[in-house]
Amino acid sequence: MDQLVLGAMMFGTTVDEKRAFAILDRFVDAGGIWIDTANCYAFWADPSGFGGQSEALLGRWLARRPGVRDRVALSTKVGCEPLEAGRYPETAEGLAPQTIKNGIEASLRRLGTDRVEMYWAHRDNRRTPIEESVGAFGELVEAGLVGRLGCSNFAVWRLERARRFAADLGVAGYTAVQQHLTYLQPRPGTRPSVVHRFGHLSDEVVSYVESHDDMAMWSYTPLLAGAYTRADKPLAPEYDHPGTQKRLAALDTVAAETGTTRNHVVLAWLTGGCPAAMPIVGPSSVAQLDEAIAAMELKLSPEQRSLLDGAA
């Protein structure tokens, strides 16, 4: 269960407190560790136009569950909270040093804790020199407010440059990437509508992670918001190409062989890959979480993985 990440993005907005608490309780009872959120979640779903609802709900849950804080690892992000309601992305907060410092202070206050185990640059921002952002993130690690650092939706060359600056400054650098990765591939020349620019986990990113032992790879929206299994959740237009049908057929073959579902197979394919990915699942019910938990027990055979990898 250390590979499965619970995504809390919609907790406190479209997922109400009662359901969110039930999901969180079930996740911890099943041995889950990582819980992922962000300071901007979920500004688009709240009447205020600003985020913080997810972190605040997690803080209330932790306060009502004595001892649970030491059993979970918290992951949050900075960089995408709008400064003006209704004006995202043009007023996204960015990654200036003071923004990063203010961001962690506000996140810790909402979460009701004195540290987070992972802190992410949510989206690259080129208004601020990268060495200034890197230095500010490094100070948070030195201060004990943050355990590790990661970046999400970054071009590979920007990731490498940030890590080089961190080494030159003698501070902690990014040791994780959080990108969109799933089994289906979008049509060439397009990117999935659910991701930012550079958010799709390309083969170049995978190669970078393979080449650096200290790097971890997290995958957001791995189940395409239910599109693999739900008739009411059609695939986005960028997946409308012949390769999709071949890959779905491969998923169905392996699901039939293992007595599972497409979702199980997708998650097993991600966690059993090389390098392995840590999928972030955002359930809106305990039943959806239980499906993801069950997928962690599925081990694909070499033949099944070869079939899945070879479908094009």
Q: Write down the residue that tokens 């205020």 correspond to.
A: 48
Give the Cα separation of 62 and 69 in Å (integer): 6
How many residues comprise the chain?
Answer: 312
User: Three-state DSSP class for 98?
Assistant: helix
pLDDT tens, N- to C-terminus, the chain (312 residues): 789 999 999 999 999 999 999 999 999 999 999 999 999 999 999 999 999 999 999 999 999 999 999 999 999 999 999 999 999 999 999 999 999 999 999 999 999 999 999 999 999 999 999 999 999 999 999 999 999 999 999 999 999 999 999 999 999 999 999 999 999 999 888 877 777 888 888 899 999 999 999 999 999 999 999 999 999 999 999 999 999 999 999 999 999 999 999 999 999 999 999 999 999 999 999 999 999 999 999 999 999 999 999 997
Phi, psi angle pair for 150, to nearest 5°: -140, 165
**Is there a contact between 105 and 78 (Cβ–Cβ < 8 Å)?**
no
The most distant pair of C-alpha atoms in the chain lies apart, rounded to whole Å, by 53
pLDDT of residue 14: 98
Q: Please write down the HEC assignment for all residues of 130-180.
A: HHHHHHHHHHHHHCCCEEEEEEECCCHHHHHHHHHHHHHHCCCCEEEEEEE
List the helix and strand counts (H, then E) for the chain.
10, 8
Residues 6 or more apart from 147 whose CB is under 8 A from it?
73, 115, 116, 117, 118, 119, 141
Tokens linked to 171: 């501070």
**Is there a contact between 267 and 7 (Cβ–Cβ < 8 Å)?**
no
pLDDT of residue 262: 98
Give the Cα separation of 45 and 59 in Å (integer): 19
pLDDT of residue 298: 97
Q: What DSSP string describes 44-58?
A: GGSTTS---HHHHHH
pLDDT of residue 286: 98
**In sequence order, which ranges of the chain are alpha helices (DSSP H)?**
17-29, 53-63, 97-111, 130-142, 156-169, 203-210, 242-258, 262-271, 286-295, 302-310
- Count of other CB atoms within 10 angstroms of residue 159: 23
pLDDT of residue 218: 98
Estimate to the nearest angstrom the gap between the alpha carbon of 160 and the chain centroid: 20
pTM of the complete model: 0.96
Residue ranges and CATH numbers for the domains of the chain are 5-227+270-298 (3.20.20.100)
- Which residues are paired to 6 by β-bridges? 35, 281
**pLDDT tens for each residue of 135-185:** 999 999 999 999 999 999 999 999 999 999 999 999 999 999 999 999 999
